[in-house]
Amino acid sequence: MDYDFSFFLAVATLVTGVIWGGYLLVLKSTGAAFDEENEPVLVEYARSFFPVVLIVLVLRSFIAEPFRIPSASMMPTLLIGDFILVNKFTYGIRLPVLNTKIIEMNQPKRGDIVVFRYPKNPAVDYIKRVIGLPGDRVAYYDKKLHINEQPVSQVSLGRYQGVGQGEDMTGNELILEDLTGVEHNILIRNGAASAEGVYVVPKGSYFVMGDNRDNSNDSRYWGTVPEENLVGKAFFIWMSWDWQHKGVGFDRIGTVLK
């Protein structure tokens, strides 16, 4: 069990619900009328906070959860300081805290941007792009992808110009990559060493990589992501803040991720 924010939300919901519900049961058993002005302070706080924490728990656990991008591993798609929303039900409905799936939904598709619990430390959330599906054979050599023996199309778009906290990525090659129908931009730092090899994706797992190929700690280094580690699919930028550039990035707010 991971003692994350969901755990504390669940505990807060349970505690405030028990206090408030228990007080109502006592009133009912004694035949006393509810008197808001004379209710105990603890009960007053529980009555006020219970619906709030319950709504937050339901929304965050089953609908959408906000995340902030802390690193450059998904540039140029996601910049440091982007705030995103993650769809929590796309890949199935899971119980909060226990992470047990109770309703099956869709399976991840190649090209999806996913948030998952890092297999080496499940308390940490990572975000990457799905490259390989179960059973796929993924090869990465000379900064080029091959999936099931087929080369992935790459078209150079010139040199990338970074800004703010991503300025040190200036000069990297900007490339349009086509993951069997899913087009997206990636960054390559020519001359930089990178992990290479052939990887066979096991059943029930996914091979993921960052769009910033030479600045990403991903499946090339630590292996695949088990299905049970998936948190959800990133789909929307609702805020962007880069204190080293222009503060609020109004041009990025409302961006639908692909």
Runs of H (alpha helix) within the chain? 5-30, 41-58, 219-222
First to last CA, the chain: 32
Active site residue 143: no
Longest dimension (CA), the chain: 79
pLDDT of residue 97: 81
Q: Among all chains, which residue has been given the structure tokens 């959330």?
A: 125
Burial class of residue 26 (count of CB atoms within 10 Å of its CB; 0-12, 13-18, 19+): exposed
The 10s digit of each residue's pLDDT in 170-220 is 999 999 999 989 999 999 999 898 899 999 999 999 999 999 999 999 999
pLDDT of residue 194: 87
Q: What share of the chain is helix, strand, coil (3-state, %, to 5)?
A: 25, 35, 40
State whether the Cα torsion 255-93-119-193 is positive or negative: negative
Query: What distance in Å separates the CA atoms of residue 76 and residue 186, rounded to the nearest whole number?
Result: 6
pLDDT of residue 68: 95
C-alpha dihedral, 172 to 173 to 179 to 182, nearest 10°: 90
Mean pLDDT of the chain: 93
Query: What distance in Å separates the CA atoms of residue 167 and residue 164, rounded to the nearest whole number?
Result: 5
Residue of 149, 124, 154 lying closest to 139 (CA atoms) = 149
Catalytic annotation, pick one of 73, 205, 216, 219 = 73
What is the pTM (predicted TM-score) of this model? Answer: 0.89
Contact 68, 81 (CB under 8 A): yes
Catalytic annotation, pick one of 6, 61, 88, 128 = 128
pLDDT of residue 1: 42
Q: Which residues contact 133 (CB under 8 A, 6 or more apart)?
A: 108, 109, 110, 201, 206, 207
pLDDT of residue 36: 79
pLDDT of residue 3: 54
pLDDT by residue for the chain (258 residues), tens digit each? 445 788 889 999 999 999 999 999 998 898 888 887 788 999 999 999 999 999 999 999 899 999 999 999 999 999 999 999 999 999 999 888 888 888 888 999 999 999 999 999 998 999 999 999 999 999 999 999 999 999 999 999 999 999 999 999 999 999 999 998 999 999 999 989 889 999 999 999 999 999 999 999 999 999 999 999 999 999 999 999 998 888 899 999 999 998
Active site residue 120: no
pLDDT of residue 221: 96
Residue of 119, 58, 51 lying closest to 89 (CA atoms) = 58
Query: What distance in Å separates the CA atoms of residue 151 and residue 162, rounded to the nearest whole number?
Result: 28
pLDDT of residue 54: 94
